[in-house]
Amino acid sequence: MATSLVDADSLLAVDVGNSHTRAMLFDAVEDRYRLVAMGVAPSTAYAPLNDVREGIRNAIDQVQNITGRVLIDDEEQLIVPATSDGVGVDQVVLTLSAGKPLRVVVAGVLEDVSLRSARRLAETIYGRIEAQLHLNDRLHTEGRINTVVRARPDVIIMAGGVDEGATQSVLQMVEAVGLAAYLIPQGQRPEVLFAGNQAVLSEVQKLLEGLVPLHVAPNVRPALEHEQLGPAQESLLQIFRNVRLRQMGGLQSWLAPLTGHSTFYPTAYAFGRMIRFLSRVYDPAKGVLGVDIGAEATTVAAAWGGEGTLKVVTELGLGSSLPDLLKHTAVEHILRWLPMEIPRQQVVDYLYNKALHPDSIPMTPEDIAVEQALARQILRVALRHAWKDFPASVRHRFGAQLPYFEPILASGSILTKAATPGQTLMMLLDGIQPSGVTTFVLDENHLLPALGAAADINPILGVQVLESHHFVPLATVITPVHHITKPGTAILRLQIETSSGDQGTVEVKTGTIRVIPLRPGQTATVQVQPLRRSDAGFGPGRRGTVVVSGSKLGLVIDARGRPIVLASDPAQRREQNSRWLNALGG
Amino acid sequence: MSVIRPVVRIMPVAKVRQKRLLPVPGRVVVNQGKTVKATETVAEAYLEPRFHLVNVARSLGVPRAEADDYIVCHVGEVIRKGDVLGKKGGMFRKVVNSPVDGEVVLAGDGQVLIREYVSPWELPAGFPGKVSKVFAGQGVELTTTGSVIDGVWGNGKLAYGLLYNAGKTPDAVLDAAALGVELRGMVVVAGKLEDAHALEVAESLPVRGIIVGSMPASLIPEALKVSFPILVLDGFGAQEMNSHAFRLLATSDGRQAAVLAEPMDRYRGVRPAVIIPLPNAEMPPEPPEAVELSEGVTVRLTRAPYVGMLARVIDVPPGLVRFPNGLRAPGVEVRLENGDRALVPVANVEVLVQS
């Protein structure tokens, strides 16, 4: 997609994470947008500084040092907009994932209908659901009041009643929330989002306005079979901004002088927005998947033809929330991914020690193996959560199997900074377990959120940076789905012709991973012939042709089946994990 | 570019500043500048407030719209259990009584909302000192002079008592056999904890507190149940206590110590610690909150293969360093206590402040 710049505005993207703060300067170079420079500094959102500005300043300093461009004036202010002599920047976007998850209370009428939608909505931001209220919670008004007051919420999301449906039960819930809010001291009161039956809107406003900051949005569940989170998500974004501006030291004062030239989003939302955008660009028959393993949360964004789902799981991160992983999974499910013998207790100790030093880096082979096993299991659990929100039509078509995605974008330093591309792909294959034909792409510099946040004010930038070399193709993977349990059975035959004219035939057997190197810049036409009615993405037993572009690893065939069945014997299982990793180059 | 790292305090004599914060918003009950004792309350909060909604209209059998005429209490009124909230005269006299002691916070629309009176949870100072800062609604910062050792994990409890060194070496295990009756009421120091049985015995004595270098993470559920504080100084697993902390605690045997086994909270800057007040120490240094990594700085290493070890910085090479395992990250070269040199990621060191 070639685009030409008419009015090239420079843009500074700042991402404040739990561990690191990044500053990225984008500008037009030879008539196309490029990432000009990036600075990374430790985040300072926490004690002892409790002020994001120091980390932002340090990251911008690095950009200034690299480029020689002056971005900050003598009064320590970011120069916006840029002057004619190239000082400063025209636009600024801020993405933020740092901070304790927002405390959320969700309320609905029916547990499996409106409450579920409210929960899904809550899971699109960095939040933790502290309490849930619904018609059958057996709490009555008094119990609900106490529940809300004790939850000390930052935000209450209220849904319930399909349009032209229940009104009384919705109002009962609103009344309880109103009474609870009244009892919470001023200054600590939550923001309330009402996204339920619109017929009671005026009464909701009468009950809550003046008591709490009230936001109203169209019904998230206008009909039993119809869910619409989009408009309410926009309101929730504003609430997220309000809460963070209030809670996070230095944020308000850093953004205030940039009014009119800046936007501010949760990192996960901006990441999801970019995935949605990409799903309009790529094959509409498949979805686009993005996964981001962070220090305190894991984000899964999936989209089909511009419509997407976003799941932010704040209990799944490789930082201080790591022990929470054990609420979602058994230790044995982590141990199963290890290529070497490491005692169970040592793995549990590892989780807790990592939580104490969230930005520390594993150095020994054992620690690296544990950390990468954790990443696999975090992906498994996060995908399991996210799958429930995939469109019903997709879930029905694919059942428990992951839908076809092309491409899959991966972010987070555990994935992008692994010592070898083989280790990265191993984590992604085991954790995601894709099927059919897919390409894995690494967002090594964590650019997707910046581009997603900039989409409002500079859509061309996203398109052009995506076309640049900053996104690193890792591998194109063909995964035949089959039900053959016997290892060593021929399952796929490939005829390959590379752009340089080399030809060959490869037969792949069950239980193996095979790599056919294809360097960046090369392409290959691959005729895929499934054997024994396996399905490589073209239908059971059906052949197909794919054109594969070169990448770090090239073409990879994962013939281990879906789901991957590991040996029950621990020694054999370790040997399997080790053999598969070696197949990818170690 | 300078590399700033967080500090861990292991200081024989220092001006110690320690935050004492409520777990939920509440009320600070001391003023800045006040000198407090270890047991003195500095702030209080209602951890689990209880509200009661009394439906006067329903109890009196009148429509909600009319019920307010029968409500006889008013907002702000302090009431006792059994006090009349509403009544209706006539042939069939009816009365609605308060179910609890408390205060009326809302009355109207046929209902009365009562905040039940419960005693607030009190936050003690934890150690004798002076209130150097007040964080409105949250807590205080206390300052004293004395020894301080930062830990990494605490079970949420605190105590003030005499230190008793139960192990002769930093790797001594605190097992049930080591917990004799002479340890009753003592703050017991040992290299590591290994099993839950030792905690049961410690509870039965009971001890005043336990300070160890490490314990298995699987002991956390049991550690959270005991009535006394447990403070872990170095990490989870079976590592020995770091040599500086062990020496300092060993030489402080028999002194009064505050064991503040609060959970680490990096958002609020709270970290568990043991504080040994030395009120007569003169002009002790005040530890910095963060320190630039440079030659000569002492660090504690947080990851294998050097976890818990102390070392001295030799060099901080600029930019990224490629480590033997292929990882690239900012690095620091250190000399370990045994004389060996090691190159470790900057992210894997904490600066040790000793004096």
Cβ of A179 within 8 Å of Cβ of B106? The answer is yes
**pLDDT digits over A441-459, tens only?**
999 999 999 999 999 888 8
Residue entry with tokens 């008539």: A31
Distance, in Å, from the CA atom of B302 to the CA atom of B346, rounded to the nearest integer, reads 10
Q: In terms of domains, do B79 and B196 share one? A: no
Residue A5 pLDDT > 70, yes or no?
no
- All residues of chain B having their beta carbon less than 8 Å from the beta carbon of residue A352 are 153, 217, 220, 235-236
Class of domain A11-98+248-260: alpha beta
The verdict on residue B67 lying in a domain is: yes
Binary contact (A46, B113; C-beta < 8 A): no
Q: What is the strand order of the sheet A262-266 is part of?
A: A32-42, A20-29, A11-16, A91-96, A262-266
Q: Which of B17, B18, B51, B328 to mutate to test the interface with A (most CBs of A within 10 A)?
A: B51
CA of A286 vs chain B CAs: smallest distance (Å): 34
Average confidence (pLDDT) over A298-321? 95
Q: Is residue B34 in some structural domain? A: no
Q: Is the pLDDT of residue A2 over 80?
A: no
Same domain, B327 and B266: no
A419:B1 CB<8 A: no
**Chain B residues touching A141 at Cβ < 8 A:** 53
Domain CATH number, residue B198: 3.50.30.10
Q: Which phi and psi (to 5°) does residue B79 adopt?
A: -130, 155
pLDDT at B1 over 60: no
Nearest chain B residue (CA) to A175: B109
Nearest to A150 among B49, B220, B236 (CB): B49
Average per-residue pLDDT in chain A? Answer: 94
Cα–Cα distance, B122 to B119 (Å, whole number) = 9
- Pair (B148, B222) in one structural domain: yes
Residue B136 lies in a domain: no
Residues A435, A439, A444, A448, Cα dihedral to 10°: -90
Residue to test with chain B: of A353, A354, A445, most B Cβ within 10 A: A353
Q: Is residue B298 part of a domain?
A: yes
Contact B51 A145 (CB under 8 A): yes
Half-sphere exposure (Cβ direction) of A241: Cα atoms closer than 13 Å? 15
CB pairs under 8 A between A and B: 123
Q: Do B221 and B79 share a domain, yes or no?
A: no
Classify residue B27: in a domain, yes or no.
no
Q: Are A363 and B345 inside 8 Å of each other by CB?
A: yes
What does the mean pLDDT of chain B come to?
93
DSSP assigned state of B348: G
Domain ranges of chain A: 11-98+248-260, 102-243, 269-484+509-517+553-583
Q: Least CA distance to A44: which residue of chain B?
A: B267
CB contact under 8 A, B105 and A357: no
| Residues B206, B305 within the same domain | no
pTM: 0.94
Residue of B48, B290, B303 lying closest to A360 (CB–CB)? B303
Classify residue B132: in a domain, yes or no.
Answer: no
Residues in A touching B307 (Cβ below 8 Å): 353
Nearest CA in chain A to B234: A353
Q: How far apart are CA B286 and CA B145, in angstroms?
A: 9
Section A251-255 average pLDDT: 96
Residue range A165-179: mean pLDDT, rounded:
93
B2 pLDDT above the threshold of 70 = no
Task: Answer whether A419 sits within 8 Å of B236, measured CB to CB.
Answer: no
Residue B254 is predicted with a pLDDT of 96
Pick the range with the lowest mean pLDDT from A260-264, B90-94, B260-264: B90-94
Q: List chain A residues with CB under 8 Å of B266.
A: 46-47, 320
CATH 3.40.1440.60 fits A102-243, yes or no: no
Residues of chain B found within 8 Å of residue A419, distances taken between Cβ atoms: 325-327
Residue B280 has pLDDT above 80, yes or no: no
Is the same domain home to B229 and B344? Answer: no
Range A75-104 average pLDDT: 94
Confidence grade of residue B89 (pLDDT, cut at 50, 70, 90): confident
Half-sphere exposure of A316 (CA within 13 A, CB side): 26
Cβ atoms of B316 and B3 closer than 8 Å: yes
State the smallest CA–CA distance between residue B327 and chain A in angstroms: 5
Shortest CA gap B276–chain A (Å):
23
**Which of A28-32, B26-30, B82-86, B110-114 comes out lowest in average pLDDT?**
A28-32
Q: Is the pLDDT of residue B235 over 50?
A: yes
Domain boundary among B218, B251, B277: B277
Q: What is the pLDDT of residue A470?
A: 86
| pLDDT for the residue B336 | 96
Domain CATH number, residue B302: 2.30.30.30
Å between B90 CA and nearest CA of chain A: 30
Give the structural domain span for B190. 6-17+144-277
Residue A203: what are its φ and ψ, rounded to 5°? -70, -35
Pair (B258, B159) in one structural domain: yes
Cα of A494 to nearest chain B Cα, Å: 33
Lowest mean pLDDT among A155-159, A389-393, B100-104: A389-393
Chain B residue whose CA is closest to A350: B236
Cβ atoms < 10 Å from Cβ of A344: 12
What whole-number percentage of chain A has pLDDT above 90? 86
Q: Which residue of A has its CA nearest to B54?
A: A142
Put simply, the answer to whether B327 touches A364 (Cβ < 8 Å) is no
- Tell me, yes or no, whether B148 and B255 share the same domain: yes
pLDDT band at residue A7 using 50, 70 and 90 as cut-offs: low
- Closest residue in chain A to residue B25, using alpha carbons only: A188
State the pLDDT at residue A1: 39
For residue B217, give the nearest of A61, A142, A352 by CB distance. Answer: A352
Do residue A367 and residue B268 have CB atoms under 8 angstroms apart? Answer: no
Residues of A in Cβ contact (< 8 Å) with B232 = none
Same domain, B158 and B92: no
Give phi and psi for A225, each to the nearest 5.
-95, 5
pLDDT tens readout for residues B251-272: 999 999 999 999 999 888 899 9
Identify whether A520 is preceded by a cis peptide bond (ω within 30 of 0): no
**Nearest-CA distance A9 → chain B (Å):** 29
Same domain for B249 and B297, yes or no, is no
Shortest distance between the Cα of B123 and any Cα of chain A, in A, equals 19
* CB-CB neighbors (< 8 A) of A168 in chain B: none
Cβ separation A152–B344 shorter than 8 A: no
Chain-chain contact of B303 with A362 (C-beta, under 8 angstroms): yes
Residue of A nearest to B4 (CA): A42
pLDDT of amino acid A493: 97
**B103, B150, B267: best to mutate for the A interface, most A CBs within 10 A:** B267
- Which residues of chain A are within 8 Å of residue B329 when distances are taken between CB atoms? 361, 417
Is the pLDDT score of A4 beyond 50?
Answer: no
Residue A3: predicted pLDDT:
43
**pLDDT greater than 80 at residue B281:** no
Triad A339, A341, A344: Cα angle to 5°: 115
Residue A30: per-residue pLDDT: 82
| B260 & B210 share domain | yes
Half-sphere exposure of B210 (CA within 13 A, CB side): 34
B206 inside domain: yes
Interface touch B51/A142, C-beta < 8 Å? yes
Residues from chain A that touch B105, judged by Cβ atoms under 8 A, are 182-183
Cβ <8 Å between B305 and A364:
yes
What number is the average pLDDT over the span A496-524?
95
Q: State the average pLDDT over residues A411-416.
A: 96
The per-residue pLDDT for B200 is 97
Q: Do A363 and B152 touch (CB under 8 A)?
A: no
Alpha-carbon span B166 to B290, nearest angstrom: 33
Sign of CA dihedral A235, A236, A239, A241: negative
What band does A577 get if pLDDT is binned at 50, 70 and 90?
very high
**What is the DSSP track for A315-384?**
T--SSTTGGGHHHHS-HHHHHTT-SS---HHHHHHHHHHHHHSTT----SHHHHHHHHHHHHHHHHHHHH
pLDDT of residue A276: 95
DSSP A402: P
Q: How many domains does chain B have?
A: 3
Q: Report CB contact under 8 Å: A183, B218.
A: no
pLDDT digits (tens, 9 = 90+) for A457-490: 888 888 888 888 889 999 999 999 988 888 999 9
Position B185 in a domain: yes
Shared-domain flag, residues B254 and B298: no
**Number of other CB atoms surrounding residue B160 within 10 Å:** 23
What's the rounded Cα separation, in Å, for the pair A468 and A453? 18
pLDDT band at B54, cuts 50/70/90?
Answer: very high
Does residue A253 carry a pLDDT above 60?
yes
What does each C-alpha distance from B132 to B20, B87, B280 come to in angstroms?
11, 53, 18
User: A346 and B237 in contact by Cβ < 8 A?
Assistant: yes
Distance CA A240, CA A164 (A): 30
User: Least CA distance to A145: which residue of chain B?
Assistant: B51
CA distance B264 to chain A (A): 8
Q: Do B344 and A363 touch (CB under 8 A)?
A: yes
Question: What residues of chain A lie within 8 A of the CB of B323, using their CB?
Answer: 363
Q: Looking at beta carbons, which residues of chain A come within 8 Å of B304?
A: 362-364, 366-367
Contact of A442 with A321, CB cutoff 8 Å: no
Residue B327 has pLDDT above 90, yes or no: no
